[in-house]
Amino acid sequence: MKKIILVLLSIAALSVSAFAQTSTSSQNKDGEVVIRVQTDQKPAPVAQKPVEVANEWVDFGKNVGTAMREGLSALTDEANKFAGTDAGRFTMVVIAWKVMGKDALSLLDRFTGVVIGVPLFIAWISIYLYVLRNKFMTRRVVITSEGPFYNRKKTYQLVNENLNWGGEDGCACFVTTAIFVIGAIILMFAVIF
């Protein structure tokens, strides 16, 4: 709406200035011819030599360079003074955060994901191997231990030797493995990514 009003006002302003202009003819009502003579005649410009033109441009460039150097040195002096104050340090921190804050948070997120996720993943796999070994594998267990450390006699007994891999034991092992693998994948993606 504001744009439409602005366009209408500019059209109205241009039309008013167009009506204010009147055309002047070179003839009066009686047919007389009016000749205007230019009273302020300027002398013809004097041609300059290329060396003089080049010197003018060199001086102009030198003056611009000096002005830039002085302006920038004053700016850096004032910026250094401002950076020495508490407000200046706070402003520098805010500017640095604005420039690289997202990158710093992303790096911190990745770092914590790896630091927490990798040990958690290793612990998860270790628990899985412990459960798999103790519940679904035939293994030897020490029943008695007699004698000194260097000449100790041990008796062993097999545990889980009658596992039925085609029946309930195989199904339980598969379900346990599936739960641990899916849990490990979810844990890894949730913490690392």
User: Each residue's pLDDT tens digit in the chain (193 positions)?
Assistant: 666 776 666 776 656 555 555 555 544 555 555 555 555 566 666 667 777 888 888 888 889 999 999 888 888 888 888 888 998 889 888 988 899 988 988 888 888 878 887 888 888 888 888 888 877 777 788 888 888 878 888 888 887 777 776 677 778 878 888 888 888 888 777 776 6
The residues near 109 (Cβ < 8 Å, ≥ 6 apart) are: none
pTM of the model: 0.40
101/170 Cα distance (integer angstroms): 52
